[in-house]
Structure 1
């Protein structure tokens, strides 16, 4: 008896997060900003954690980042990711004051160190959504 490999879990864009997903599709990382106090937040949320306002607008991230930390995944959190193992997940500090978690591309964990400069890239997935990825700056 053969088993069918389950598909990867995919993000489910909502009307509230549509500017984020549309920006990624255009090759831009859009960050949500509180329209009242100006605090930038990521991931998109309905309410500002600082002033509790529900009003938000969007700003484009610079595309720059630095390594905060990383981990190498050797065991998939979902069976559909088994073929990609191992992969490197990087938590990156953005100059806008938020962090981004994304997979590292075109490098290995040995090239990383805290504070190393990165750049944000974009990759379409099999569901037609574009996701952010991280690459070494200057590479």
Structure 2
């Protein structure tokens, strides 16, 4: 299901995040000095301010931390209802992605569900969405 999505402005900080899905990679900025992850992407580590940061592919799996079911048709052509969730990523401590859960009925989504990334491409941008892993 291709929902109309706002196109992010690609720049030096975020291009690897928005285009990594073309290679099946969920790229999160990682610091080579302190080892922490930073999201949203930045050119400096948010933990130690180091410039020794680079995108690193993470597992692309996680757990639903919180979610809501949206019933409001905010944009023309946007099918409702849909799930907006915050996913706690495996292997990237402290990183949570706000995303959509796809591929199942909205009533099948619950807290602590295991999920995995799937990418939806629109005009060269690969939106990281998640589906239930079970």
With the length of structure 1 as denominator, give the TM-score of the two structures: 0.81
- 1:137 is aligned to 133
| 2-structure distance, mates of 1:66, 1:134 | 10
Would you say the 8 A contact 1:73–1:86 is kept in 2? Answer: yes
Residue number among 18, 28, 47 corresponding to 2:15 in the alignment: 18
Aligned residues: 129
Query: By how many angstroms is 1:76 displaced?
Result: 4.4
| 1-structure distance, mates of 2:107, 2:5 | 27
| 2-structure distance, mates of 1:109, 1:44 | 29
Unmatched segments (≥5 aa) in structure 2:
none
- 1:3 is aligned to none
Q: Which protein shows a greater Rg?
A: 1
Runs of 4+ off more than 4 Å: none
Would you say the 8 A contact 1:73–1:88 is kept in 2? Answer: yes
- 2:83 is aligned to 88
Query: By how many angstroms is 1:40 displaced?
Result: 0.7
With the length of structure 2 as denominator, give the TM-score of the two structures: 0.84
Unmatched segments (≥5 aa) in structure 1:
1-6
TM-align CA RMSD? 1.9
